[in-house]
Amino acid sequence: MSSMESKMQDSTIWWRGGVIYQIYPRSFMDSNGDGIGDLAGITEKLDYVASLGVDGIWLSPFFTSPMLDFGYDISDYRDVDPMFGTLDDFKALLARAHALGLKVMIDQVISHTSDQHPWFQESRQDRTNDKADWFVWADPKPDGTPPNNWLSIFGGSAWTFDSRRQQYYLHNFLKSQPDVNFHHPEARQAQLDNLRFWLELGVDGFRLDTVNFYFHDQELRDNPPVPAGEAKTLGAPDTNPYTWQRHVYDLSRPENLDFLKELRALMDEFPGTTTVGEIGDDNPLERMAEYTAGGDKLHMAYGFDLLNAPHSAGYIREVIERFQRLAGDAWPCWALSNHDVMRSATRWGADEDPVAYPKVALAMVLSLRGSVCLYQGEELGLPEAEVPFERIQDPYGKVLWPEFKGRDGCRTPMPWTHGEQGGFSSVEPWLPVEERHLPLAVANQQDDADSVLNATRAMLAFRRQHAALIEGEIRLVEVGEDLLGFLREADGERLLCVFNLTGEPRETPLPASVGEHATLLEGPGFRTSLEASQLILPAYQAAFISLD
């Protein structure tokens, strides 16, 4: 039995090489006319998601929350915020997704809570209550200043003073998002119990927000500065002082590995479930390898290496090479866009062809070794939306405007039709519908054979037909400075994948190492040719060559 056949029979490893479609609930589909997307709206559109050919969905937070960080500040881990519906609505969504063959992963934000969570409300009352140490509290320095130099990603100190306890509490994000003290065994177990609640309800896995932020240095040592001339690698804009520190003591602490093993033991009680962790770190690929190696921690993880600005063939080559050097049996999950970064059609493709470039970029990421997250609207080639300052919702954008405009531009409503509000809602939505998105609406692209939408469907279908693309090994090959090339191999199938991400035609001889038997596959609609061992790629094209 081939490994591909084995995987098809073993549904417990559906995630390995799977493609997961990320849904941002506030902006996907409004079913009740209040301008905000909801769970019933998602359920209504699941047939569309299934038609793409993805393996599952990931839902950004829909839990009870004051929404100061739009659901990433949770006040009740076990219920649905009324804005999105009810727990019964979620159960209906889960049932419909499973009926369509889609797995369901949900966001879990366990590193911090909302300051409205009952745990924190109790913890801040005094220093002796039952949950006094469930959060990270520390005395001021003698001069009343914060305990150390740690910074919040959202600006300013990571410490806020609380008058009741006469102490500071730690928050890596907003001051309304206090960090849970994972050094405390009861707090740690309480978060595992919250995960168990959703597993018992039937979810297929978790996307774990800020998975390397769970533990802090108990000595509260200062972070050192980034040495002059050294690169800042965290997934935050350079204008943010947060990137000026090396984050040695406030995240990615060694104790986290033992907790991830506890978490994996829980997941293993529910065969077929999976985890993908978000890693923001000074050394993201190293951390990704560390957190997913050995089969006893996370199943998958992703960093920001393909979620930042560089996008040349040379840069992507370097990312692949570095991860392969570190990987061992680790398993990555790649993404070009998500709810936290500028859409890839603008971030990488602003100066490129707006239709051809998204197609070849998606073909590239869907050919890498690993799993893939596809962000809603990416399959349409949506550019980043322009949101005027008076409509900005994101607290991150309000603090760092205008050099950094926040994350609202990638969170605007999904365009379903060219009509009013893009078919998303019957009223003015929480964020404005981008006018440039309307011609790219699902209804407009559905029957256009040359659309980004149908190119995405074709590429996903092509991927499913080739074991080498789903779980094969990867080896970079030399195809010239301006092209990206690698070999994927599994079950005796060998595929050479070559990508021209530029707006100029390129040619390259087939590498001598690939052998003599080379057949250019028709693939998912790309226009390339192979003449006398010379591969010819017009602008924004991909080639898939069988070497069997």
Q: Is residue 1 one of the residues assigned to a domain?
A: no
Active site residue 209: yes
Rounded Cα–Cα distance for residues 288 and 495 (Å)? 26
Active site residue 435: no
Q: Kindly name the residue from 47, 186, 269, 420 that is annotated as catalytic.
A: 269
Spell out a b/e string for 159-179, using b for 16 or more CB atoms within 10 Å of the CB, else e. bbebeebebbbbbbbbbbbbb
Tell whether 306 and 418 lie within a shared domain: yes
Rounded Cα–Cα distance for residues 266 and 446 (Å)? 41
Rg, the chain, Cα only: 23
Query: pLDDT tens digits, residue range 138-192?
Result: 999 999 999 999 999 988 999 999 999 999 999 999 999 999 999 999 999 999 9
- Residues 6 or more apart whose CB falls under 8 angstroms from that of 104 comprise 56, 57, 59, 93, 94, 97, 98, 202, 203, 204
The per-residue pLDDT for 3 is 46
Q: Is residue 361 one of the residues assigned to a domain?
A: yes
Tell whether 402 and 539 lie within a shared domain: no
CA neighbor of 104 nearest in space, from 54, 149, 52: 54
**If you count them, how many residues does the chain have?**
548
CA neighbor of 542 nearest in space, from 531, 526, 529, 520: 526
Rounded Cα–Cα distance for residues 84 and 21 (Å)? 19
Q: What is the pLDDT along the chain (548 residues), one digit of tens a residue?
A: 444 554 544 678 999 999 999 999 999 999 999 999 999 999 999 999 999 999 999 999 999 999 999 999 999 999 999 999 999 999 999 999 999 999 999 999 999 999 999 999 999 999 999 999 999 999 999 999 999 999 999 889 999 999 999 999 999 999 999 999 999 999 999 999 999 999 999 999 999 999 999 999 999 999 999 998 887 767 677 788 999 999 999 999 999 999 999 999 999 999 999 999 999 999 999 999 999 999 999 999 998 999 998 889 999 999 999 999 988 889 999 999 999 999 999 999 999 999 999 999 999 999 999 999 999 999 999 999 999 989 999 887 777 777 778 899 999 999 999 999 999 999 999 999 999 999 999 999 999 999 999 999 999 999 999 999 999 999 999 999 999 999 999 988 999 999 999 999 999 999 887 766 899 998 799 999 999 889 999 999 999 999 97
The per-residue pLDDT for 10 is 66
Q: Is residue 135 one of the residues assigned to a domain?
A: no
Give yes or no for a contact between 7 and 462, defined as CB atoms under 8 angstroms apart: no
Rounded Cα–Cα distance for residues 35 and 48 (Å)? 21
Tell whether 413 and 534 lie within a shared domain: no
Tell whether 346 and 452 lie within a shared domain: yes
CATH number at residue 540: 2.60.40.1180
Last residue of a domain, one of 433, 461, 489: 461
Rounded Cα–Cα distance for residues 114 and 68 (Å)? 9
- Residues 6 or more apart whose CB falls under 8 angstroms from that of 452 comprise 355, 358, 359, 362, 379, 380, 381, 440, 445
The per-residue pLDDT for 1 is 41
Strand 534-537 relative to strand 506-509, pairing: antiparallel
Tell whether 451 and 360 lie within a shared domain: yes
Tell whether 490 and 411 lie within a shared domain: no
Provide the whole-model pTM: 0.95
* Number of domains observed in the structure of the chain: 2
Q: Which two tokens stand for residue 145?
A: 């200043």
Give yes or no for a contact between 373 and 58, defined as CB atoms under 8 angstroms apart: yes
Q: Provide the edge-to-edge strand list for the sheet that holds 167-170.
A: 137-138, 167-170, 159-162
CB atoms inside a 10 Å sphere around CB 283 = 18
Following DSSP, what letter does each residue of 256-320 receive, concatenated?
HHHHHHHHHHHHHTSTT-EEEEE---SSHHHHHHHHHGGGSS-SEEE-STTSSS---HHHHHHHH
Tell whether 453 and 493 lie within a shared domain: no
Rounded Cα–Cα distance for residues 311 and 305 (Å)? 10
Q: Which two tokens stand for residue 75?
A: 């006040």
The per-residue pLDDT for 309 is 85
Q: Which two tokens stand for residue 295?
A: 């089969």
Q: Kindly name the residue from 73, 107, 209, 281 that is annotated as catalytic.
A: 209
Query: pLDDT tens digits, residue range 229-246?
Result: 887 767 677 788 999 999
What amino acid occupies position 102? L
Q: Is residue 142 one of the residues assigned to a domain?
A: no
Strand 473-476 relative to strand 371-375, pairing: unpaired
Q: Is residue 350 one of the residues assigned to a domain?
A: yes
The per-residue pLDDT for 515 is 65
Alpha-helical runs (H) found in 328-428: 344-347, 356-365, 395-400
CA neighbor of 22 nearest in space, from 449, 364, 307, 422: 307
Range of the domain at 421: 14-113+185-461
Strand-pair partners of 334: 372
Q: Is residue 125 one of the residues assigned to a domain?
A: no
Tell whether 397 and 488 lie within a shared domain: no
Q: Is residue 481 one of the residues assigned to a domain?
A: yes
Tell whether 337 and 425 lie within a shared domain: yes
Phi, psi of 333 (to 5 degrees): -130, 115
